[in-house]
Amino acid sequence: MERIRINQKSNLIYNLVVILLVVGIVFFSYRLLFNHMIPSYRNGNSFSVYENNQEESKVGISGEKSDFFSDIWIRIREINLTDPAFILSSHMPYLSAPYTENEPVDIEVGDESIVAVTATPEEEISRQGQRPSSDDLERYEEAVGEVSEDIQIQVKKISDDLPPITLQGSGPQILIYHTHSREAYRQDPDNPYKDIAVFRSNDLSHTVVGVGEELAKELQRRNIQALHDRTDHEVYPWKSGLYPRSLETIRKRQKEHKSLKIFLDIHRNYNEKLKDSDKEVVVINGERVAKFFILIGTAQGVSGGFSEKPNWRENYQFALKITNKANEKYPGLANNVMLKTGRYNQHISNRAILIEIGNHMTTFAEAKRSARYIAEILSDIIEK
């Protein structure tokens, strides 16, 4: 009898262990498919493919709530084993992790994402395995890290003593566009907008596109010919990151207007560490004006860099000129120029910069005011 009891207990424990193992395998397989196997394109800063899939998983094709197995089927449909970037990101989570730093982008997003990946220092990233092809890198290497110590030393020697910037001839001279077109601002009770995610909207009149419109209008008022491209690069679905998408827009505009010399990619910054909206504005003429900063990419990347790199020193010098002029006229309006290892399409010109106007703690109205002052500053450093 005693032996029978021992055997029964052993069988019970064995069965419980098997059941727990099966449940664990199913659970972790689901989590793997749900969280890691779908690459995410931009930063905490962007509405990603993953977020779109989240919405699709909540509501089935018929409009009814989906169940567990429907959710699994949606994830499986998105798997593309012929895509090197997809396979690579499934084994290297840092390529698809949500972006939470002071970065646009990207992806950087990430590049960048919509490439959005954690801003990781180059030295912390594994170099093991084969390096993806140049074409594959274009898809996700807006992933950024801190620039090398050598570049940090070079930056300290760069001054803003640019020769006068001359814009002459007919046709638009400045292109304003938006890689992350749906970045929106803090809700304003006096001017609310319909959001599709936190600080994101497909009503472009309330996003950075509206801020770019204000910038273009103010430049035109100062007799500087500016072209504002309102293309929504975040329209779903997409097969590549957003920076390749916006690059197509830039190339198209360059073919149409040979006169283009300056390229401004307007974004809204996001940094979860920012808590006090009063610290994100300066008061000018009694009005709250959102601060801005300029981001420059070296194109070093995280896996060997891009095949075509920008002249980041000249772009940085241009950014420094704008920043210094802004703070000379309106102290505190511009934060320091930021340098990262992404590229951000800045290889297209020696006057290509990314401007982060305001952040998630500032309102659309405050960002529009900032755009007016940026137009004034550009007018000051450009000879017409």
Confirm if 155 and 180 have CB atoms less than 8 A apart: no
Query: What pLDDT score does 131 carry?
Result: 36
Of 98-107, 235-244, 287-296, 335-344, the one with minimum mean pLDDT is 98-107
Query: What pLDDT score does 304 carry?
Result: 66
* Residue 87 in domain: no
Give the residue among 122, 127, 168 at the shortest CA–CA distance from 147: 122
Residue 378 vs residue 138, higher pLDDT: 378
Query: What pLDDT score does 330 carry?
Result: 98
Residue 309 vs residue 121, higher pLDDT: 309
Distance CA 259, CA 42 (A): 31
In this predicted structure, the answer to whether residue 311 has a pLDDT above a threshold of 90 is yes
**Widest Cα–Cα separation across the chain:** 103
Give the residue among 291, 167, 329, 269 at the shortest CA–CA distance from 321: 329
Query: What pLDDT score does 67 carry?
Result: 52
Please compute the mean of the pLDDT values over residues 49-58 and round it to a whole number: 34
Percent of the chain with pLDDT over 90: 51
* Residue 83 in domain: no
Confirm if 76 and 32 have CB atoms less than 8 A apart: no
Distance CA 30, CA 118 (A): 23
pLDDT tens for residues 204-239? 999 999 999 999 999 999 999 999 999 999 987 766
Distance CA 145, CA 123 (A): 9
Of 103-107, 178-182, 330-334, the one with minimum mean pLDDT is 103-107
Please compute the mean of the pLDDT values over residues 2-23 and round it to a whole number: 72
* Angle (nearest 5°) at CA 365 between 250 and 171: 30
Q: Exposed, middle or buried, 91 (CB in 10 Å: 0-12/13-18/19+)? A: exposed
Distance CA 33, CA 370 (A): 43
Please compute the mean of the pLDDT values over residues 7-16 and round it to a whole number: 73
* Residue 288 in domain: yes
What CATH number does the domain containing 199 carry? 3.40.630.40
Please compute the mean of the pLDDT values over residues 256-268 and round it to a whole number: 97
Please compute the mean of the pLDDT values over residues 367-382 and round it to a whole number: 97
Confirm if 281 and 288 have CB atoms less than 8 A apart: yes
The whole domain housing 314 covers 149-383
In this predicted structure, the answer to whether residue 335 has a pLDDT above a threshold of 60 is yes
Q: Could you tell me where the DSSP H helices lie in 79-163?
A: 84-91, 134-140, 149-156
* Residue 82 in domain: no
| Beta-carbon-side half-sphere exposure of residue 124 (alpha carbons within 13 Å) | 10
pTM over 0.85: no
pLDDT tens for residues 94-124? 343 333 333 333 333 333 333 332 233 322 2
The answer to whether the bond into 104 is cis (omega within 30° of 0) is no
* Residue 41 in domain: no
Query: What pLDDT score does 149 carry?
Result: 86
- The total number of structural domains that make up the chain: 1
In this predicted structure, the answer to whether residue 258 has a pLDDT above a threshold of 50 is yes
Q: Tell me how crowded residue 278 is: count the other CB atoms within 10 A of its CB.
A: 8
| Beta-carbon-side half-sphere exposure of residue 236 (alpha carbons within 13 Å) | 15
Q: Pairing relation of β-strands 174-177 and 262-269?
A: parallel
pLDDT tens for residues 148-170? 888 898 999 999 888 778 888 88
Token digits for 105?
């982008």
* Residue 107 in domain: no
The enclosing H or E element of 297 equals strand 292-297
pLDDT tens for residues 73-86? 545 555 555 554 44
In this predicted structure, the answer to whether residue 58 has a pLDDT above a threshold of 70 is no
Sheet of 292-297, strand order: 226-228, 174-177, 262-269, 352-359, 292-297, 338-340
* Residue 118 in domain: no
* Residue 125 in domain: no
Ramachandran assignment for 303, one of left (phi > 0), alpha (psi -120 to 50 degrees), beta (any other): alpha
Please compute the mean of the pLDDT values over residues 134-139 and round it to a whole number: 42
